[in-house]
Amino acid sequence: MRIVVVTDAWTPQVNGVVRTLQTMQAELEKMGHQVKVISPDLFGSIPCPTYPEIRLAFARSTVMGQMIASFRPDAIHLATEGPLCLAARRWCLRSGIRFTTAYHTHFPDYVAQRTGLPASWFWRYIRWFHGPAEAVLVSTGSVRQQLRAHGLAQVRAWGRGVDLGAFTPQATPPAAFARLPRPIQLYVGRVAVEKNLEAFLASNHPGTKLVVGDGPARVLLEKAYPQARFLGPMFGADLAGAYAGADVFVFPSRTDTFGLVMIEALACGTPVAAYPVTGPVDIVTPETGALSDRLEQAIAAALSCDRAACAAYGQSFSWERSAQEFLAGLHNIDPEILDSAA
């Protein structure tokens, strides 16, 4: 199968959307499919307002259409709601070509936090953008319910996976962990306002708070919470070791639709503490973590979880199964319509 994926999120960005799409491309190609990714690095771009580390790329719909048609795809997937996918959406609708979309992030809540405007305003855009899609791929049951409640009925399941070769309880923790006051409470992800990191850093549970990752809020948070340790980005074996060496993984976000870092932590045997919101409610079980509107309470409860149970559960998430769900959600393009659009 020949698949075009259009995305506004791609390297050098480091986030769950990019990691998911990169892994999905590798899994699909391993299965024998051909994948063409149309991403921001192929176009001129400008810094995103309020988030300059993310660059917004723009393309005319005719140019986008030429790039898509020249690949002769069997299916088209629009991964994000940004300008590149808008251009592809415009061309597909004008040409009568079917496509699917995905809902990776609680975009209305995310933008509302950055602009101070009501989230309801941005739900109008979400309904408009995803409405013509043959299917909207989502990661969890609670997100499916939420989108249906907002008038998007064509939702399909697309779960996530873990690199089980890297994320295991046998990963070697950093040597410095042995000297830190316990329990070690770990956060991994973007250091940005939408991640609600202050709720974690301000919690009064004793021990050591570690932050792995980078982002626009890092400088301010380092100054505001000097007792926390900011380790910067970590990858591969180093990241797996950080997960395995922590006593609890803290996920304070209220805007994520899944939270890939949670299942990576679980695969390393580390229980999760989080709020009872979309993402954590779909992933965390009583045996593998704790959810509470009081983060300190969730941390305390998660510390009593059995690490072997966490590891067994985390290792049940497969990228191969995720790729199969992705394929099942795609819709085939009529080759005659593609020919007439080219």
Fold classified for 175-317: Rossmann fold (3.40.50)
- Domain range list for the chain: 2-161+320-341, 175-317
Report whether pLDDT(51) > 80. Answer: no
- CA–CA separation, 297 vs 281, rounded Å? 16
DSSP 3-state of 249: strand
pLDDT in tens, 313-326: 999 999 999 999 99
Q: Which two tokens stand for residue 27?
A: 């899994």
Mean pLDDT estimate for the chain: 93
22 secondary structure, DSSP code: H
Beta strand 155-157 pairing with 136-138: parallel
- pLDDT at residue 52, rounded to an integer: 64
Query: For position 56, what pLDDT does the model report?
Result: 78
C-alpha distances (whole Å) from 232 to each of 92, 173, 331 are: 41, 16, 40
The predicted structure's pLDDT at residue 110: 62
Task: Give the Cβ contact number of residue 11 at 10 Å.
Answer: 12
Which whole number is the average pLDDT over 114-130? Answer: 82
Among 89-93, 103-107, 123-127, 221-225, the range scoring the smallest mean pLDDT is 103-107
d(C-alpha 334, C-alpha 299), whole Å: 52
**Burial of 202 from C-beta contacts in 10 A (0-12 / 13-18 / 19+):** middle
Tokens of 226: 């000097």
Is the bond preceding 12 in cis, omega lying within 30 degrees of 0? Answer: yes
Residue 116 falls in which region: left (phi positive, over 0), alpha (psi -120 to 50) or beta: left
Q: Is the pLDDT of residue 101 over 80?
A: yes
Instruction: For residue 19, give the nearest of 199, 263, 271, 238 by alpha carbon.
Output: 263
Is the per-residue pLDDT at 58 higher than 80? yes
Predicted pLDDT of residue 270 = 98
pLDDT of residue 79: 97
pLDDT of residue 59: 92
* Total-model pTM: 0.88
Architecture in CATH for domain 2-161+320-341: 3-Layer(aba) Sandwich (3.40)
Kindly give the pairing relationship between strand 75-78 and strand 34-38.
unpaired
pLDDT score, position 57: 85
Note the pLDDT tens digit of each residue in 195-251. 999 999 999 999 999 999 999 999 999 999 999 999 999 999 999 999 999 999 999
